Amino acid sequence: MIIITGDLMIDQYGRTIDYMRVSITNRCNLRCIYCMPPGFSFPAGDPLSYQEILRICEAAVECGIRFIKITGGEPLLRDGCPAFIARLKKIAGIEKVTITTNGVLLTKHLDALLDAGLDGVNISLDSLDRERLKGITSFDVLESVMEAVYESVKQHINVKINAVLTGADQERVLLTPGMRREWKELVELARHVPLGVRFIEMMPIGYGRSFTGSGNDMLLDYLKAEYAGVERDEQRHGQGPAVYYTIPGFKGTVGFISAMSGRFCAVCNRIRLTADGFLKPCLCYKEGIDLKPMLQQDEEIKRGIEQAIAMKPYSHCFDRVQDAEEPHVLEQDPMIAIGG
Ligand code: SAM
Ligand code: SF4
């Protein structure tokens, strides 16, 4: 059962659902090893048109969605993304529209995105070591991504860096001289620049299953050991599950998104729309509602959204993924097809 009261949508576990991630393409100009490794072929099928996505977003806002994150694939690869964001921003009831991007095309589109009214940008950046980033993404992109980071900050838009640390095992990832430098270099970005550097734990989705990644609980211990005066920042930084910390003398903050070590399902406020119109109530499960056949009628779309919310599980089951206890219900698609 779900309750829609006034302008709130509350699921059967009492969670307010007000945030929707909207993927506008499955395509990408990079090949991050844990998301879309070289040789991966794009999922078949056309994405929804912008008009179709807009109708779903309008229906979602009527149900209670207030915050939209545009994602992909790489959303800035799709023509017309800024104009689409401008249309989203005009929907009455929308509070914020933000985007997550690998940053490669961001400088080129920044003015248009700001004109469209974009409220914030997340830039994925896993390492500040040029060769290492090339090894992760398959392309030499450090310079263009850093230009996008600094240009965005200069424009006073809210900037967050998202880093997924990759490595063979936790201890090694955090302690070997190379990796130790890697997370610390990322943290140091926040020293002089007012942005949030966030570490996202690797989730066993798609190709992410082949990586152990690094646990944020351990990384937080290292952060505290390395910097004096690290303190939890109680200020709200957005609509997501990140937990932030301040460091004396730093203009920015350091955040942790810990789906694995810090299971935040009890406060999960989100649903996900894939580029081909499938609405997923939880990242971990295959389950969801295909909204494509419902696109003729706004009332049908709203019913589809409510059905998806009613399916939203109490929590993810990533810890069972390796045992494949329930392979029929677990999400097998790579992250690029979902949007993160
Ligand atoms: N291309 C855009 C980007 O890179 O920000 C948007 C799509 S990407 C799928 C969204 C986010 O998902 C990125 O920050 C990426 O690092 C993250 N991601 C991909 N696979 C992941 C995994 N298995 N576990 C955790 N995060 C993952
Ligand atoms: Fe592309 Fe983003 Fe996936 Fe990297 S994480 S392959 S940039 S969609």
- CB of 167 closer than 6 A to ligand 2? no
Q: Are 290 and 277 in contact (CB under 8 A)?
A: yes
Cα(66)–Cα(68) distance, integer angstroms = 7
Q: Write down the pLDDT at residue 4.
A: 62
Local confidence band at 175 (pLDDT 50, 70, 90 cut-offs): low
Ligand 2 atom at minimum distance from 29 CA: 1
Cα(238)–Cα(311) distance, integer angstroms = 25
Question: 150: which 2 tokens?
Answer: 């600094």
Note the pLDDT tens digit of each residue in 57-89.
Answer: 999 999 999 999 999 999 999 999 999 999 999
Helix or strand holding residue 98 (H, E): strand 96-101
Cα(163)–Cα(145) distance, integer angstroms = 13
Say yes or no to pLDDT of 94 above 70. yes
Note the pLDDT tens digit of each residue in 187-217.
Answer: 999 999 999 999 999 888 777 877 766 688 8
Q: What is the mean pLDDT of residues 120-149?
A: 96
| CATH top-level class of 3-338 | alpha beta
- CB of 166 closer than 6 A to ligand 2? no
Cα of 102 from ligand 2 centre, angstroms: 7
- Rounded to the nearest 5 percent, the helix, strand and coil shares of the chain are 35, 20, 45
Helix H segments across 13-80?
A: 50-63
Which of 24, 35, 200 should be mutated for ligand 2, with most atoms under 8 A from CB? 35
Q: Write down the pLDDT at residue 258.
A: 86
- CB of 101 closer than 6 A to ligand 2? no
- CB of 141 closer than 6 A to ligand 2? no
Ligand with minimal distance to 334 CA: 1
- CB of 145 closer than 6 A to ligand 2? no
Ligand with minimal distance to 24 CA: 1
Ligand with minimal distance to 207 CA: 1
The string of DSSP letters for 299-336 reads HHHHHHHHHHHHT--SS--HHHHTTTSSTTTB--S-GG
Q: Write down the pLDDT at residue 166.
A: 81
Note the pLDDT tens digit of each residue in 258-297.
Answer: 877 777 888 899 999 999 999 999 988 888 999 999 999 9
Q: Are 89 and 97 in contact (CB under 8 A)?
A: yes
| Sign, Cα dihedral of 239, 224, 35, 112 | positive
Ligand 2 atom at minimum distance from 74 CA: 8
Ligand with minimal distance to 161 CA: 1
0.85 cut: is pTM over it?
yes
Ligand 1 atom at minimum distance from 30 CA: 1
Q: Write down the pLDDT at residue 189.
A: 97
E strand map for 205-308: 231-233, 243-246, 253-257, 270-273, 278-280, 289-290
Q: Are 261 and 215 in contact (CB under 8 A)?
A: yes
Residues 6+ apart with CB under 8 A from 277: 48, 52, 56, 290, 291, 292, 295
